[in-house]
Structures are given as C-alpha cells and as structure tokens.
C-alpha cells in the first residue's frame, strides 16, 4: 500500500455494531503520512450519507466531485484506526474549503493546549 496523504477519501470495510459483517464505506484519512509509515495504520473518520441522524460537529462535504463521492455526504467524527492493508483504494481528496471545515471541527473535538 502506498502512503496516503491526510484528507484522502478512501474505501474501507467499516464495522457496525448492529451487523455481523462490515460494509464498504468511504472514510477520511486524518493522520499524517508519518503515522502510517511508522505503524502501518491510519487514523480515519467515517463518511456517511446519514440523512436520518446527526452527530455534533458533522461536516457536510461541499465539493463531492473532488472527494470522489457520488451523493451528498458528511464527515462524521466517529474515529478509528485501521491497518493500511484493509484500505481498498482511494476515491479522491477533500477540496480546500472542506479541509478547512474539517480541521475546525476536529479542533473543537480535540482541542490542543491546556
């Protein structure tokens, strides 16, 4: 697997607590390439089209074409690490405005500093 840049949208098998088998879903790479190089894992956030629910800090992706997504989706800060060998390919990358929005929401979730 090649090293993935932060903000890359990838397809992964996503586990669900209410199902036995995982489903293939898009996810957003949040970790820096150095993390993947060091341990062979990625820090990811869920991408969902969830119209029936919302979480605090959801970010609606504005540029779907750049992200490689066929329908309206949002970044949901349901975070997980995944072995790079389970990534099934990349779909696209977040556009600049979406990167800024995701960074702002992530900063609210995980503020740095005292």
What CATH number did the domain enclosing 16 receive? Answer: 2.30.30.110
* pLDDT, position 113: 78
Q: Does residue 13 belong to any structural domain of this protein?
A: yes
Report yes or no on 3 lying in a domain.
no
If you search the block for the tokens 């995980």, which residue do you land on? 110
> Is 81 contained in some domain?
yes
CA separation, residue 25 to residues 34, 37, 39, 45, 47 (Å)? 24, 23, 23, 11, 7
Q: How many domains does the chain have?
A: 1
Asked if the structure places residue 2 within a domain, the reply is no
State what percent of residues in the chain have pLDDT above 70.
96
The pLDDT of 69-88, averaged and rounded, is 95
pLDDT over threshold 70, residue 52: yes
CA 13/CA 25 separation, integer angstroms: 6
Give the mean pLDDT of 45-62: 92
Domain that residue 90 falls in: 8-109
pLDDT digits (tens, 9 = 90+) for 12-34: 987 666 667 778 999 999 999 99
Residue 70 exposed, middle or buried by CB count within 10 Å (0-12, 13-18, 19+)? exposed
- With H, G, I as helix, E, B as strand and everything else as coil, classify residue 50: coil
Q: Has residue 31 been placed in a domain?
A: yes
Is residue 114 assigned to a domain?
A: no
- How far is it, in rounded angstroms, from Cα 23 to Cα 64? 21
Which of 46, 49, 95 has its CA nearest to residue 72? 49
The closest alpha carbon to 29, from 16, 39, 43, 15, belongs to 43
Domain presence at residue 1? no
């Amino acid at each position: 697997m090649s090293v993935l840049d932060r903000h890359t949208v990838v397809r992964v098998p996503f586990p669900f607590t209410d199902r036995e088998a995982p489903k293939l879903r898009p996810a957003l790479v949040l970790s820096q390439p150095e993390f993947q190089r060091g341990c062979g894992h990625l820090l990811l956030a869920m991408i969902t089209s969830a119209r029936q629910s919302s979480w605090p800090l959801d970010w609606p992706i504005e540029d779907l074409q750049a992200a490689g997504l066929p329908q309206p989706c949002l970044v949901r800060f349901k975070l997980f690490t995944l072995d790079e060998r389970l990534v099934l390919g990349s779909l696209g990358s977040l556009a600049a405005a979406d990167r800024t929005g995701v960074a702002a929401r992530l900063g609210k979730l995980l503020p740095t500093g005292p």
